[in-house]
Structure 1
């Protein structure tokens, strides 16, 4: 290695000789907007050259020739990782005539120029036909080029020790980067058998339609139940358990939902003692087999007062007078009331866990677990919920099918006329927002529920949600949402409209700011909305054009971070609310801002963000979660348009722990009071996520709404700066959220895809609230 480094140091930067010492270069146009190829130094194949693209004689882009390229591998020189790729701007293409390739910083042409005008045939691509990666555990994911034949799907297989061990079809779409753009390819996911999780390195070969992928075998390392548990089981290695936990966070394991029975048997929770006789009242509501619901409690039902309430107006509605009569008569001495939808069956031990959760937390009023949805064929589908999310659980049915409530609070709600399970589940909020933290989520699949009739139940929910909001003194427009898996409605609150400062975030001075401002004109005309631009130094003519259009520009030096630049803009404007929007985005609907403002009318709402999609409808940004290593991640990125996501998460508004830079609405007074973005710790990457957590630690909620959509007409560039450094700072400041994000269920996969399976082993299943603890004070440099 020392000799190799010395040789690279002593070699000249390029070779222009002919013969065996000449650089080997391929430069072709493989797509309408794609230029690619490879560049190899035969004298030193380890060397990665840097090449420069010139368009009509003007330097345009640099690239390090380090991508895998099949044509480069075929030369027999090096490992094949000598490829490069440039993506042209489709809008500028008609005005271009010639593309040239040169060695960076040297006036040396590496290949004949390519004519861009006319209809020249395209060359065969040198991009890899497939790619696979291991992200921990026994899960492999990747992509392959489409088969090219309508209706044919490629078959992907994994092989271990010469035998096939897993098979999947490339039947899902995903986007892969091609220069500064993205292209659709066929994606796949493979789950290897658990017998390979034995703590020994394993080599896995992957084939597509019987042909091996380029790059050779993958090496994986997985443990039966995670390294932390494996080490903890050995008395002599207890001191190594923290290192094992870090390994499990870095390379999390998971199994598909179809393996639920094996997962459930392996990680069954310890059985608690049944509740004492006389403490429980049981109420089954609605059509269905209410007797079966009560019978499912087994020995936990002993001594409990029980009744079945017939439906009254809706499938989960009941007569509140009849419920009061029961609770004040047969159940007068009870502490808790278990509410069940008729036909929902509790699993063994679930009731004891719910009772224990409320017994241990005197400030909690309600406890709920997770569900297993059962189809007509008997198959179970795990439905794991977040910590209590008022907005989502107001708009979407789910945990209201089985929950435990204190009898005193149930009686109080019935006195107010609450007459449905859905309204009863959120009824504590009618008494004041300070009670939002009184709902306990007890992770664990507590009940089995028949598959819901989404459309019929959504129509009944409309009246229930309206009654709940009227009780809170809120006027709103409520409509059923299109049917998905779970019943859902859309809520748009009415009320006074605040003044809004729209701040266009233009980190690149070459962005089309006039077009961006024009696209926001409907939002500007809808109310008291002013438009501002925060950017580095702009061309004077552009500044004047924006000024004539009523747009004020806040300029800053090119070396200033994004966080500092936007802080300065927020401090300078005068408005009730701030709406930050990336200048690359365009509204998909004219009323997107109205929906954000409607959500912000809730007194405890801290920030509201839209869903960001690309031109093909795939999700770019829909809220963020904090990984166990402190990295702010987008859990739904890449999902295609129309995909409701796991648990219909993209169908309704929902609370999230963090947001991205693409855009959000917040109150200016709270933004300034909390210090805005922390430009010292999070100058480029995670500043918005940190701000969202500060809001929630302050008692505010942070939402993403699917009813406001912004479109990215091109790929969003990665922020500059050191993301690893900011991740360490996030982990130091928010360790509790990194260990257990309240809006991600600990039983679900902790790595991408985040909702693609069950975590092996699951995280902590202790009862939890949706409250975010205060940030830790971390001195600069101590992370």
Structure 2
């Protein structure tokens, strides 16, 4: 039960006679309160926390306190929050707060062994500008109210919090109600405005208006259209990179009308269209008759199941009506092709001589006449094997198509037999609207097609059906050579309780896979941590010491130097395993020789997703995907249900081969000592042609930054800013064009949750290795 002790006390002396204070305990480890001077509301105090009379930590009183703001007391930013370690909260006798350098009490001391009424944290929510017309934030879980949005103090809309998000309260994690909205488009007029927010009952959600500015087509294009100086376009481009604009998915129809790919002159080639099945055939034929590409022929192959067909009819078509075709388009009967689909496919084959297969984005029906876009990545082999996402509307050059039709027996079979990663292209923008899918039958056919792919490649693997999401899906398990050993590397400093819990939960997986654990101690000084480390050394767990300031990259590099196993698994000490099979699942993925690293699905203790892969480009940086989803949510395009490739993954749980780690020079200790070393590491692996795979079937809990604190802390901001600058300098071009993230999706702080406004590109994309531009050391 939460305990609370609230008191107001005036320090002695006339100087502090107008001081108002409060101190309370929110939960076992979180303490909060406020301090303000009625006579000087512009003053900010520093508060020190004492545990049983000994100083523990200090904090500046500048957090927003809703009840103070609502009472008209200054700007309401007089609050503070402390989070103590678990053992402190459990074992302390008295915890008190005092003004730093003054010693006057803040509120009254709290006896930890005495229960008190439930406390309420002094923050009820938060909203931040995400760029363009988008704003994101959270509202306390226990506040069941809508939010009123005001511009220049005038109400413009009411927002209903939907979904859930993780909320950090001190160092604890909880669930908040997610706030995510876009302002009406008429506010994108280049004027600077201020946004305020309050609950419908009148409680303030933010302390002061949020300044924002948005442009209808981005600042760069606005400057260009106005004929301003070319020198200013660079400034506009940087603004759009840092604060990209977006619109919500439900505006897709109007977005599509406003933005469309440029239509090139018609190329003189003939398309052969293969429709599989007979359902809603008239609708497909009608969409073919409306094509801008003049020359085409089509055949309908009766389906045997979902997309299986008799190849005899296909051979007759190849030698008959399609004898002069340059390329073949494959889709299900009932597919409604976009009027420019055949022309865009033809353009790709003309402009990209190295392309043999091209697939496009698709649209899916969502009920009540709504249509939603499925924007795909550049070619992703792992996702193709598990979901065959590009198989629903794709085009293949004649030679490859004819070859595939001689042996393929289903739509999935044709797709997987024709793909070669370096010769497979993605065409951004919907080329077709999909018909309904018979998920059980389709899943059976997908299992067979993936098994056939592995048989052709000479790879031993098991393919199992998954429960269908938006699309049918399977689970791939490659056979692992269990003679290869793995070392789990866990860096640590103090925080014995975190390390102990981590080791206890990951040991079963280590036993199951014959892995070892290496604990890397970096200057632990607390007696309980030293005692625990001393007792760890046995046949299963080794302990080494790496001295010096905390440098995550250097610590892991030193650890790898001490390892003699084939594989290494980097693991934070604030990770907790949820089952015993997570490491085996990651090893099944690493068994593919072209996979360079494998990452896991990580959750906050609140069950909100903390890591679902990394997306490059968000706010000209990198962002974890699906922080807006709870565990169990399928994610956009079912990406939290199927294994897929990413440009990068977090090193909080990252498996790779030792030889690959050494081949790229390990982690960069100089440019990225704390942050982005994992992003840099993954991009270096991709530079060598390696694939980076995320698997949702390895699932663990991550108390993110519990062990070392947050990068937003004042003493870390400068260092974090420098490392972010280094990331942009070295990988800037890559950040602007993540092959695994569609240029039609928004690049604000929550990937896969909005449409880019405007789209960044409609050009066909191949999945090519990234190329860095490494600045000299010290620059």
Flag whether TM exceeds 0.5 (same fold). Answer: yes
* Worse-superposed segment, 344-353 or 288-297: 288-297
Cα gap change, 1:564 to 1:102, in 2 (>3 Å): same
1:235 aligns with 2:227: yes
Question: Distance in 2 between the 1:560 and 1:219 partners?
Answer: 37
Residue by residue over 1:749-782, the C-alpha shift from the partner in whole angstroms, topping out at 9 and shown as x without a partner, is 1102222221111111211112222222321233
- Correspondence for 1:577: 567
Question: Distance in 2 between the 1:302 and 1:573 partners?
Answer: 63
Residue by residue over 1:3-25, the C-alpha shift from the partner in whole angstroms, topping out at 9 and shown as x without a partner, is xxxxxxxxxxx986246556432
Residue by residue over 1:231-272, the C-alpha shift from the partner in whole angstroms, topping out at 9 and shown as x without a partner, is 111223333222111111222211111111221111122222
Aligned partner of 2:353 among 362, 367, 370 = 362
Aligned partner of 2:122 among 127, 148, 157 = 127
Asked if 2 retains the 8 angstrom alpha-carbon contact of 1:386 and 1:441, the reply is yes
Asked if 2 retains the 8 angstrom alpha-carbon contact of 1:286 and 1:341, the reply is yes
Deviation, 1:167, is 2.4
Aligned partner of 1:304 among 281, 291, 296 = 296
Asked if 2 retains the 8 angstrom alpha-carbon contact of 1:20 and 1:42, the reply is no
- Correspondence for 1:184: 175
Deviation, 1:91, is 5.6
1:743 aligns with 2:737: no
Cα gap change, 1:740 to 1:500, in 2 (>3 Å): same
Residue by residue over 1:677-736, the C-alpha shift from the partner in whole angstroms, topping out at 9 and shown as x without a partner, is 011111101001101011111100001100111123676443557221111111111122
Asked if 2 retains the 8 angstrom alpha-carbon contact of 1:94 and 1:117, the reply is no
1:389 aligns with 2:380: yes
- Correspondence for 1:477: 462
**Structure 1, unaligned runs of 5 or more:** 1-13, 430-434
* Worse-superposed segment, 581-590 or 619-628: 619-628
- Correspondence for 1:319: 310
What SS class does the counterpart of residue 402 from structure 2 fall into?
A: helix
Cα gap change, 1:227 to 1:520, in 2 (>3 Å): same
Asked if 2 retains the 8 angstrom alpha-carbon contact of 1:181 and 1:715, the reply is no
Cα gap change, 1:95 to 1:376, in 2 (>3 Å): closer
Cα gap change, 1:382 to 1:74, in 2 (>3 Å): closer
1:501 aligns with 2:487: yes
Deviation, 1:78, is 3.9
1:423 aligns with 2:409: no
Cα gap change, 1:210 to 1:505, in 2 (>3 Å): same
Question: Distance in 2 between the 1:49 and 1:549 partners?
Answer: 52
- Correspondence for 1:266: 258
What SS class does the counterpart of residue 382 from structure 1 fall into?
A: strand
Aligned partner of 1:611 among 601, 607, 610 = 601
1:552 aligns with 2:538: no
Aligned partner of 2:521 among 535, 541, 560 = 535
- Correspondence for 1:589: 579
Deviation, 1:489, is 0.8
Residue by residue over 1:186-223, the C-alpha shift from the partner in whole angstroms, topping out at 9 and shown as x without a partner, is 22222211111111123333232242525243332111
- Correspondence for 1:142: 137
- Correspondence for 2:284: 293
Aligned partner of 2:343 among 334, 345, 352 = 352
* Worse-superposed segment, 248-257 or 19-28: 19-28
Aligned partner of 1:599 among 559, 580, 589 = 589
Cα gap change, 1:535 to 1:251, in 2 (>3 Å): same
* Worse-superposed segment, 734-743 or 238-247: 238-247
Residue by residue over 1:449-487, the C-alpha shift from the partner in whole angstroms, topping out at 9 and shown as x without a partner, is 124343442233122211222221222222221232111
- Correspondence for 2:77: 81
Question: Distance in 1 between the 2:69 and 2:115 partners?
Answer: 30
Question: Distance in 2 between the 1:106 and 1:156 partners?
Answer: 40
Cα gap change, 1:614 to 1:85, in 2 (>3 Å): same
Aligned partner of 1:56 among 46, 52, 55 = 52
1:211 aligns with 2:197: no
Question: Distance in 2 between the 1:682 and 1:380 partners?
Answer: 43
Residue by residue over 1:387-418, the C-alpha shift from the partner in whole angstroms, topping out at 9 and shown as x without a partner, is 11111121114321101111111122233x22
RMSD: 2.4
Question: Distance in 2 between the 1:355 and 1:138 partners?
Answer: 37
Asked if 2 retains the 8 angstrom alpha-carbon contact of 1:274 and 1:299, the reply is no
- Correspondence for 2:503: 517
Question: Distance in 2 between the 1:775 and 1:38 partners?
Answer: 48
Asked if 2 retains the 8 angstrom alpha-carbon contact of 1:166 and 1:191, the reply is no
Listed as ranges, the matches of 1:270-285 within 5 Å are: 270-277=262-269, 279-285=270-276
Cα gap change, 1:217 to 1:241, in 2 (>3 Å): same
Asked if 1 retains the 8 angstrom alpha-carbon contact of 2:416 and 2:449, the reply is no
Question: Distance in 1 between the 2:606 and 2:723 partners?
Answer: 31
Asked if 2 retains the 8 angstrom alpha-carbon contact of 1:320 and 1:414, the reply is yes
- Correspondence for 2:681: 691
Q: State the number of aligned residues.
A: 756
What SS class does the counterpart of residue 454 from structure 2 fall into?
A: helix
Cα gap change, 1:231 to 1:659, in 2 (>3 Å): same
1:731 aligns with 2:728: yes
